[in-house]
Amino acid sequence: MAGRLLVLLRACTTTTTTTTTLRLRSNAVVRPLVRAMATAKGIPTDEEQATGLERRALQALKHGKDPYSMLKPKEYAGTKEEPHIVPCIGTKRLVGCLCEEDNTAIVWFWLHEGDAQRCPSCGSHYKLVHHELPH
Ligand SMILES: [Zn+2]
């Protein structure tokens, strides 16, 4: 029935330019097309329809937190006053320093908990910061 009505409406729109017009039956009701998921409020936002982990991540981002490291890491100068922050769940972490922008080799070294340490090659400062994993 709906398919026939749609074909009939298409025929009406295509024949309006010609002299012959196609008339609908008197009992036919033409309703505007409405999507099944549409509501009176409109299309729901991502936050309204998110569930589970996605919902928790969106709520955390709303409060300025990034528990799942989804955002781009903040860049630091690498100086003694503003060292590169390295999040870690333990007491030490292996860090790779790409000392210069176009270097092809990475300098790897262990970063331990405590004061900031320097890269053995370029001298950039790195500091280990304890990080809790979200559950
Ligand atoms: Zn370096």
pLDDT in tens, the chain (135 residues): 455 544 444 544 444 444 444 555 666 666 666 656 556 677 888 888 999 999 999 999 999 888 787 888 888 899 999 999 998 999 999 999 999 989 999 999 999 999 999 999 999 999 999 987 766
Query: Which residues make up the environment of ion ligand 1, defined by Cβ < 5 Å?
Result: 97, 99, 119, 121-122, 124
Q: Are 111 and 117 in contact (CB under 8 A)?
A: yes
What pLDDT was estimated at residue 51? 93
12 annotated to bind ligand:
no
- Predicted TM-score of the model (pTM): 0.55
How far, in Å, from the CA of 22 to the mean position of ligand 1?
78
Between the CA of 123 and the centroid of ligand 1 the distance, in Å, is: 6
User: Rounded CA gap, 104 and 86, in Å?
Assistant: 22
CB count within 10 Å of CB 126 equals 19
Q: Is 88 annotated as a binding residue?
A: no
Provide the pLDDT for residue 99. Answer: 93
Q: How far is the CA of 71 from the centre of ligand 1 (A)?
A: 24
So what's the pLDDT on residue 41? 73
Identify which of 123, 124, 119 has the alpha carbon closest to the alpha carbon of residue 75. 124
pLDDT (0 to 100) of residue 31:
65
Are the C-beta atoms of 127 and 84 separated by less than 8 Å?
yes
pLDDT value, residue 73: 80
